[in-house]
A and B are shown apart, each in its own frame.
Chain A
Amino acid sequence: MKPRIAAAGCGAAFGFLITWGQFADPDRIRQMLLLEDAYLYEMMASAVLVAFLGLRLLRRRHARALIGGAPVALERNPVEPRHLGGALLFGVGWAVTDSCPAPIASQLAQGVLWSLFTIAGVLLGIQAFLGFRRRAF
């Protein structure tokens, strides 16, 4: 039960903050991707800086998760072609819909019914990936 509450609580904080930052507004995302608005980049850079420093501290202390006791050191993976190819497809989808997975959920919560089409597409894409992986391995 505790892990669920912790995950949902972190999700709620995240959802509240991205909605406040207007990341659910497709026109805002478009302005940022057309480099007319630096907000996204400033937010991402400062978020990563804070989290990077904090995670480094936790890693150095060999911290364990408060719930469950798993090591806090998050994975560091070497670059593979799939990371670039997948990100390429993702980037096109992001630009077409001016939405990405967390803001899509925020749109739904705010009653933007267009998000239902994007969600249907996301689930189709995941299904295609899972189906492909099952056949491939």
Chain B
Amino acid sequence: MANVANVLTTRPPALVLGPLIGLVVLALAALLGNRIGALGGYSEVLERATGRAPEFGWKAWFLFGILGGSLLWRVAAGGSELGSGFGWLTRNLSNPASAILLVAGGALIGYGAKTAGGCTSGNGLGGCSAGSPASIAATMTFMATAIAASFAIKAVTG
């Protein structure tokens, strides 16, 4: 088990992990004819909770799968390496301010991805793999924006 934990706590080469993730995109298409996407799962959970939808669709089950697979990694790796803080937020700001920014940032993620028709997985992986012009444009836009915003945050926080 110790060897398994060692393998899992080290990142695999990007050019190994990427093709494996590409195969997951393919598997979802081949099995169900669906485009991968994580945000839709949150939307289906909300729609179910607010009575807009009578039951969970495949997107919610995909999200539950992500939770399960991440948990499996954690068990196999012997625990999480993530600490009690949260990145640049808790290093630079008080806990309440960090929480407020996470809610605000999360709202931008939820509203923005719904508007754009996908998140990093839906547009970035699924839509780009399908050759969808809308997804390619959205991916280039959110990549450029996130890079610019990260440099802006770094300029302010040092």
Contacts and interface: CB of A to CB of B under 8 A. Distances in A.
Contact of B109 (A29, A44, A63, A97): A97
A20 B12 contact: yes
B18 A118 contact: no
A45 B123 CA distance: 13
Contacts of B87: 26-27, 29-30, 98
B107 A124 contact: yes
Contacts of B72: 12, 15-16
A16 to B, nearest CB: 4
Contacts of B124: 44, 48
B29 A74 contact: yes
Nearest to B87: A26
Contact of B33 (A14, A29, A56, A64): A64
Contact of B82 (A18, A52, A75, A110): A110
B46 A84 contact: no
A10 B125 CA distance: 14
Contacts of A92: 105, 108, 112, 145-146, 149
Given A55-B129, A102-B121, A91 B88 contact: no
Interface string A29-68: 1100111001110111111111110111010000111111
A102 B50 CA distance: 22
Interface residues of A, number: 107
Given A26-B86, A129-B111, A43 B21 contact: yes
Contact of A86 (B28, B29, B82, B115): B115
A1 to B, nearest CB: 10
Contacts of A48: 22, 124-125, 128-129
A16 B133 contact: no
A52 B102 CA distance: 33
A75 B110 contact: no
Nearest to B137: A79
A4 to B, nearest CB: 5
A57 B98 CA distance: 46
A26 B92 CA distance: 14
Given A13-B69, A78-B134, A112 B82 contact: yes
13 contacts: A16-B69, A21-B17, A42-B18, A44-B18, A51-B26, A80-B134, A89-B115, A90-B112, A92-B145, A93-B106, A94-B145, A99-B105, A123-B106
Interface of A: 3-4, 6-22, 24-27, 29-30, 33-35, 38-40, 42-52, 54-56, 58, 63-68, 70-72, 74-80, 82-102, 104-112, 114, 117-130
